Structure 1
Amino acid sequence: MNAILKWEKILAPPFLEVGMTYSRSNHLENLAIEYEHDAAYADLEIDQAVLDDIARTKLILSGGDTKTGVLEDCSYILVDTQYLGQLSPGQQRLYEVLLALQEASIYAVTTIGKLAQLLGLEHPMACGKRLENLQSLGAIAGLKMQ
């Protein structure tokens, strides 16, 4: 194992996979935050079947391992309860919702569509982008988007 990989393992919080470190690509300026809002999708023609598929994406929140689970086609999300990084207002709201879901029960099952509704978003893609950005920043782990 090379020295850089060892160093990343030491610095990474235990719930993050190796390689989830700060880089230019996960800097707030490079996260395409405009796509976290409905207005970014207003002029795009997106097939309703694609939107429905995104909205039905299942998320399971638990305080445990994000890599294993008995259900297929799900993301087992783990929210970092100690996250201190800077988030956009939309990311912050989603982080707070996910954290509340994780802390309120052993397992919580939701979908991207339900989260979008809760956040007042019309487009599930906007919520999906917020989730992707939260994972890039290390606030959550386990999200698998196809």
Structure 2
Amino acid sequence: MIVKKVVILGGGVLGSQIAYQSAFSGITTVIYDISDEAVQQAQQKIDSYPQQYKQDIGATDEQVQAANANLSLTTDMKAAATDADVIIEAVPERLDIKESTYKSLAPYITDQTLLLTNSSTLIPSQLIDFAPNKKRFMAMHFANLIWTHNVAELMWAKDTP
């Protein structure tokens, strides 16, 4: 699978880190969040990452500029999710919020889209019934400070092939 577009649903602490790492890796990346205020908060987090990347991993100005060019933020689910190869859900750890997010996502996801949850407290079997693409759904939980700890746990649900 060639990944050309990654979408992060939720620009909180880990969502914003995942998005910036994806963009830093050269992939067109979109953060979707529910309000202008949430998008602004995500942008504030993102604004701190270039200096951290320079300090922690020796990122160059050119690498940071390229990452920034690869990253966008929106409150428009359709614009964010359309043509996404990978969608990573990083919304709050509440089943009702995750269910609502997946229902909103359903019209824009294809059979080929890989849908991941970054949940740290809920297991995939608790979420798979909400997932619009059950055959391409799993958990991929990233460690905080993803650019230095480049680690993720992978878990699948029993119905995921």
Task: Quickly name the TM-score band, shorter chain normalised.
Answer: under 0.3
TM-score normalised per structure 1: 0.25
Relative contact order (C-alpha < 8 Å, sep 6+): which is higher?
1
